[in-house]
Amino acid sequence: MGISPLKAVVLISGRGSNLHALIRAQQAGTLDIDFAAVISNRPEAAGLQLAAAEQITTEVVDHTLYEGRTAYDQALIKVIDQHQPELLILAGFMRILTPELVRHYAGRLINIHPSLLPRFKGLHTHQQALDAGATTHGASVHFVSEELDGGPVFLQASVAVEADDEAERLAARVLEQEHRLYPAAIQLIAEGRIRLVDDSLQLDQTPLHEPLQLSS
């Protein structure tokens, strides 16, 4: 694609399904990133084996070995910074980040969340959507701020909520969209099209006031 791959570190806690989607996109030539490392807070995370099988460096910073979030995040920062990432990608990293870590990676820390933010922050988003009677649900990619599931959203993908939906079935359809959404969002950053400037989004050096929508 004629651009230098973006050096990225991915943080995971579990099976790494979004990580797998990123690896597939990179291998297909549609995602210009270089995986510097995959780091987990859980030694048993299946995503570590997935990364190792692709010859990606893996690290574990076990949260159970630290007293409190501050001590843990300070240790995590040291490990991440050894890899000098241009982008830090949260892919199912099930930890609330300290303000110190968020500020340290300001403008280069992104997350994917299974709802159409700002609706349904936190956990159990699919049940939240059903309980609220939402007719549309989906996933969002955003730069991370100190507010939980806050920060500017720049790309979303939507699914229709069906009348007989249950949380598990709705979650499966949203996850399919996540696997399309995250590579597309990161590619926008890799191409230099999306940037965070003074806490405001820019698309092609023009202010972006509403999230872009991924076509179906």
The C-alpha atoms of residue 126 and residue 115 are separated, in whole angstroms, by 8
Strand blocks (E) in the chain: 6-12, 33-40, 58-60, 87-90, 109-113, 136-143, 153-160, 194-197, 200-203, 206-207, 212-213
Quick check: is 20 catalytic? no
Mean pLDDT value of segment 40-68: 98
* Average pLDDT across the chain, whole number: 97
The C-alpha atoms of residue 164 and residue 187 are separated, in whole angstroms, by 35
Mean pLDDT value of segment 21-44: 98
Mean pLDDT value of segment 169-194: 98
Render 155-167 in DSSP notation, one character per residue: EEEEEEPPTT--H
Which pTM value belongs to this model?
0.96
Task: State the catalytic residue, choosing from 20, 63, 83, 113.
Answer: 113
Q: 212-213 and 153-160: which strand pairing?
A: parallel
The C-alpha atoms of residue 143 and residue 189 are separated, in whole angstroms, by 11
Domains defined along the chain, listed by start: 6-213 (3.40.50.170)
Contact status, residue 16 vs residue 44, Cβ threshold 8 Å = no
Mean pLDDT value of segment 22-47: 98
- pLDDT digits over 122-139, tens only? 999 999 999 999 999 999
Render 177-205 in DSSP notation, one character per residue: HHHHHHHHHHHHHHTT-EEEETTEEEETT
